[in-house]
């Protein structure tokens, strides 16, 4: 026990010195596991409130919330029916009535978190769904989908389906103040022995000059990814597009570009050419699902994080992390502890890794293997801004104005005025508050000096006796979290 405590103490000192100021720290909140199905408005809101509060303490700054699991909606939609994963019956509105997506946006923004709306683009029916609403796309247009392994899939080879999904995407982006639009790894379905995708006739009739059926399927998905990216950014340029592909692009036995692994492949089995999307700029961040352990025989975690770091660095690279598997796998060098420390060390060693998304939120909230405690006390102890995305916008807003501490009936408050800005690129939407001791170097690159990231133009000061001198510094952030120059104020607390 003493050895473990000494190890953790040394680890905390090491990690604190390596704290990242810009890092996506995300968590997926899914509905398809049935955690919200039929529990009612009040219970679901209290469950989500608890999860968000705990994740905020853990340092999470992005929530990826599943809102469209099977061409349905966990939000108010005129295009698709309410999800059974919300009410227990597809097409049935929640009672008492509420809009989960809008509620989550409000709650996340209140906590300084981003909200990314997660959709499954092509999946139209999961295995467990027995009844479809009359408004559902597969009821309205049954020829536009195919059955596969108990599921219904919108056929990616039909252009009308691309347009339909993009219409849904535009509806979400235009009506909701989301920070990102997120898709996971379901494009063409995962291969199942004895099943085949029934699109031979469509390929023969509309090959688009492509001879190989696999290339044709990849072409269909590529067209969709490019179209949805343009749809999002033409609607709201600041909304980020993220994709979380399966953890293996290709195996080396298949391609010289592949990783030294042996498993299902994005390119060959799911027809998802992720490297093309990254290199063509058809997404803003990529979150490969590297859910395996360090030392896994078929898909070693260390092998894969090195591969993605090398090949997928044209856009911010975020690692999809399986909390439960990490917390249950013994460390290869020290079996008395699990693999969280070793994996986080690999993150820090990779120059192109810009964060982590946790699969899944509840596992971190349940603190399996002290995973959540380690985040809040060690790895994510200090706040972090989002990774820079200069390919969308790299210009910082102007500095805050008229900064002044004022006594109010609520205490000693540091107020400031927002900088002037005419467009989304230069308007301030958040502020970073730093605190330094008298004589200390004003180093805003050090995240340990951040005391708040807030969307309010004020900060309540921790006044005690008025005898200690401090320097408070404030910067402005725009939609893409570009940071302004600093304005400082000497204050006695």
pLDDT tens digit sequence for 57-76: 999 999 999 999 999 999 99
Q: Choose among 18, 112, 15: nearest CA to 63.
A: 112
Q: What is the mean pLDDT of residues 445-453?
A: 96
pLDDT tens digit sequence for 136-149: 999 999 999 999 99
Q: What rounded mean pLDDT belongs to the chain?
A: 95
Q: pTM here? A: 0.95
| Better-predicted residue by pLDDT, 470 or 9 | 470
The predicted structure's pLDDT at residue 2:
47
Taking the C-alpha atoms of residue 367 and residue 122, their distance in angstroms, rounded to an integer, is: 33
| CA distances (Å), origin 250, targets 125, 255, 261, 273, 308 | 28, 7, 8, 10, 11
pLDDT of residue 9 exceeding 90 = no
The predicted structure's pLDDT at residue 1:
47
Q: What is the mean pLDDT of residues 364-384?
A: 97
| Better-predicted residue by pLDDT, 115 or 14 | 115
Give the confidence band of 489 by pLDDT, cuts at 50, 70, 90: very high
pLDDT tens digit sequence for 16-36: 447 899 999 999 999 999 999
Residues in contact with 101: Cβ distance below 8 Å, sequence separation at least 6, in sequence order? 65, 67, 74, 75, 117, 172, 176, 178
Poorest-pLDDT segment among 1-15, 48-62, 292-306, 471-485: 1-15
pLDDT tens digit sequence for 264-286: 999 999 999 999 999 999 999 99
Backbone angles phi, psi at 140, to 5 degrees: -70, -40
| Better-predicted residue by pLDDT, 422 or 182 | 182
Rounded to 5 degrees, what angle do the CA atoms 438, 441, 444 make?
115
Q: What is the mean pLDDT of residues 315-325?
A: 98
pLDDT of residue 15 exceeding 80 = no
Q: What is the mean pLDDT of residues 440-454?
A: 96
Question: What proportion of the chain, given as a percentage, has pLDDT over 90?
Answer: 96
| CA distances (Å), origin 395, targets 61, 233, 476, 477, 485 | 22, 17, 12, 10, 12
The predicted structure's pLDDT at residue 335:
95
The predicted structure's pLDDT at residue 378:
97
The predicted structure's pLDDT at residue 3:
46
Taking the C-alpha atoms of residue 219 and residue 156, their distance in angstroms, rounded to an integer, is: 9
Cis peptide before 222 (omega within 30 of 0): no
Q: What is the mean pLDDT of residues 326-351?
A: 97
pLDDT of residue 394 exceeding 90 = yes
Residues in contact with 239: Cβ distance below 8 Å, sequence separation at least 6, in sequence order? 173, 178, 179, 180, 181, 232, 233
The predicted structure's pLDDT at residue 19:
85
pLDDT of residue 474 exceeding 50 = yes
pLDDT of residue 158 exceeding 70 = yes
């Amino acid at each position: 026990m003493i050895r473990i405590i000494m190890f953790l103490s040394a680890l905390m000192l090491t990690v604190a010195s390596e704290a990242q100021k810009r890092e996506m720290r995300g968590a997926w909140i899914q509905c398809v596991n049935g955690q919200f199905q039929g529990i009612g408005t009040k219970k679901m809101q209290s469950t989500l409130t608890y999860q968000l509060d705990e994740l905020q303490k853990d340092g999470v700054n992005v929530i990826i919330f599943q809102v469209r699991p099977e061409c349905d909606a966990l939000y108010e939609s005129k295009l698709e029916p309410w999800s059974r994963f919300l009410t227990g019956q597809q097409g049935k509105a929640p009672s008492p009535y509420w809009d989960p997506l809008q509620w989550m946006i409000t709650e996340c923004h209140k906590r300084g978190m981003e909200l990314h709306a997660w959709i499954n683009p092509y999946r139209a029916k999961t295995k467990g769904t027995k009844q479809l609403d009359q408004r559902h796309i597969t009821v309205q247009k049954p020829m536009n989908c195919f059955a596969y392994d108990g599921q219904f899939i919108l056929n990616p080879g039909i252009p009308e389906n691309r347009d339909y999904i993009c219409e849904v995407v535009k509806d979400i982006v235009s009506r909701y103040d989301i920070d990102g639009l997120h898709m996971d790894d379901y494009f063409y379905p995962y291969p199942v022995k004895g099943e085949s995708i029934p699109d031979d006739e469509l390929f023969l009739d509309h090959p688009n000059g492509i001879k190989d059926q696999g290339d044709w399927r990849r072409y269909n998905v590529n067209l969709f990814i490019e179209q949805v990216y343009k749809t999002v950014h033409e609607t709201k340029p600041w909304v980020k597009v993220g994709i979380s592909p399966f953890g293996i692009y290709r195996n080396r036995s298949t391609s010289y570009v592949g990783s030294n692994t042996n498993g299902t492949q994005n390119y060959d089995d799911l027809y998802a050419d992720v490297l093309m999307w990254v290199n063509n700029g058809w997404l803003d961040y990529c979150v490969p699902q590297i859910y395996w352990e360090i030392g896994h025989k078929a898909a070693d975690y260390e092998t894969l994080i090195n591969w993605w770091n090398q090949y997928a660095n044209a856009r911010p690279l975020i690692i999809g992390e399986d909390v439960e598997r990490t917390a249950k796998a013994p460390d290869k060098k020290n079996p008395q502890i699990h693999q969280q420390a070793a994996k986080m060390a690999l993150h820090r060693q990779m120059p192109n890794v810009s964060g982590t998304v946790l699969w899944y939120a509840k596992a971190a909230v349940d603190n399996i293997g002290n995973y959540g405690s380690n985040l809040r006390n060690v790895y994510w102890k200090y706040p972090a801004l989002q990774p820079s995305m200069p390919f969308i916008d790299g210009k910082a807003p102007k500095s805050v104005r008229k900064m002044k501490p004022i006594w109010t009936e609520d205490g000693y408050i540091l107020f400031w005025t927002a900088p002037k800005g005419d467009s989304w690129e230069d308007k301030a939407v958040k502020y970073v508050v730093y605190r330094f001791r008298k004589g200390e170097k004003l180093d805003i690159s050090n995240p340990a000096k951040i005391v708040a990231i807030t969307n309010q133009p004020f900060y309540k000061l921790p006044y005690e006796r008025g005898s200690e001198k401090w320097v408070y510094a404030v910067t402005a952030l725009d939609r893409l979290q570009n940071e302004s120059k600093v304005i400082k104020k000497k204050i006695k607390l």
